[in-house]
Structure 1
């Protein structure tokens, strides 16, 4: 026998089936009812054999066969009801008639069939009861009992309704209740599947938010560390070169190195402080909710909130700091020209920070790969856009190479920053042998205030 999903119980174990019965107690119940019905029909078959002029054993066997048909009530309820209707004139199978009508009404048989068969059973019972009661009244006419003309129809009606109505109504109630329970169970299963799907989606969003946060932290760490440390290495090399020849200049360069180191540490502390504050806020929110199920979506929201807070809420660099940024490169010996065009427009903090970081990383790349090259930094305000360009000429062959390592992530980070705000980023070598970095950012990107 092939085992399907319907043959498994709620625990996932394969449920044993007994022919058309799902459970053992159903087998016991139906077999017990069939035995009682067969015994009833066998006893009633004695009277039927006497009225029909048949041998008594034949009537008993007929009753046993008819009554045992009740064992098929779950498999073929219509057939069992038809058998009970067919033997109604023999005045037997009352138990089978009641149980079969209940089973038919509680089953998934179309309601019109149930109504037709219930009507046939009612009509058959009414006719047989009317005839038998009329005969009994006629036989008792010579006695003291003299009922009115209403007696026979009324008794026949009550008997028919009593044997047909209650089992049908109770079967309809049980069937409706069973269907309601199955509907509720299916709805609960559907809700469980939806909750599982939502949990999976929340986990995906949380993983996406964590990935975005890791990428953002990597960009911030790269921008802060790479630029400051690059300048510190350049100044350290200058100190080493002039320490004996010009002590005053060496002291000045050493002071610059200290200032840049403190600035780098300050920016790192600010970044880590925002992240710690975001983690603490997420933990408090999870404690307030007090639900394990809410931990996953809260994690997604919390990490995303931490990323947004770190990117926007912190007091990061802005366009007004470009002059100081260019000044630091000049102090390191780079020849840099800064030009600003157009009237400044109001920009979001994330836009200004991105523009600053693009210029910062471009200058860092000049320090790394084009020592001694002349550099031009251009910033243009164009109404709803901000354009920036950092271009350097060919490297000065006489300049000392600081030996700064390169991980190849600078241009990737700049492109990610710009495209995330809906901007355009272009970079590449120039015809003169230098390198150019250009970016255009919308002053008010969608979804960013």
Structure 2
């Protein structure tokens, strides 16, 4: 709880303690005509009961039980023990603070609402005193106790709705950004394809004609010029391939880390409560920059999925480098808890997008469950990918 919440709850507790004390002494509750020692002790207990509202956010169910216990003691002292004789027997013995105490369990204890409902029903029975049939008494008791739970259900539903709308708006904004990025990438690829189809075809014809001229020319000077033209055409084709590769590759603003960022990913995962271990074999320098960035994205997506869908699991990241390929394996054990609301925030296309990205660099990806209830994601990438690819 924040400091502001504590101050607000303490102020509410003190206010209700003063209100119930004044109301009791004024005869609006169980106060007798001739107060005795028991009455004064009960008045002190009522003040402490009201002050327990200060803990309604951290212990809402115990606070409700404290109010129910106090009401039950007062009711028992009136009847059947007869140790207390109220000046006005047709009043509610529960303090006004009971309404706020009944609010807490349904709003702050969403994981134990069944117990909260049972406690609220028992509390309502004690307050309504059905063994003393009175329509007015039962109606007032139901209104006093039901107002809190009804408000709690309303505000809880409103909070869930606002949270869902906020997450939907954020997700729509992220998806809009991704769609814009995808549109730009598709336009770059289209331009690259058109440039390759149109220019490469013509330059290739020029190179072939220059080669044919070199072979059929009669004098040495013509053959030399034809060879120079052919070499220039070949160089133009090589430069064109590099240019097309740049258009099809990631923009220059892509600053994704390479294989050197694996340790940071594992450390971040461990810091947020998902124990992870990194095992590397071979020389990381064998992986080209493009392959390194792709491998980094694979590990990042795998660790993100574990945090979302397998809380409490342990993760092992294995990376093997050699001259021809880079092999990745991210394996997690079976989860020890059920996924929370975070599991529903993704698009469900993470692995599919990874597979497309890996296929661009001539790699392969496989994913599936393990026998012990865990999950594994394996990727094989070529160690070197030229810019043109």
Shorter-chain TM range is: 0.3 to 0.5
* TM-score (normalizing by structure 1): 0.41
For the pair shown, the structure with the greater C-alpha radius of gyration is 1
* TM-score (normalizing by structure 2): 0.47
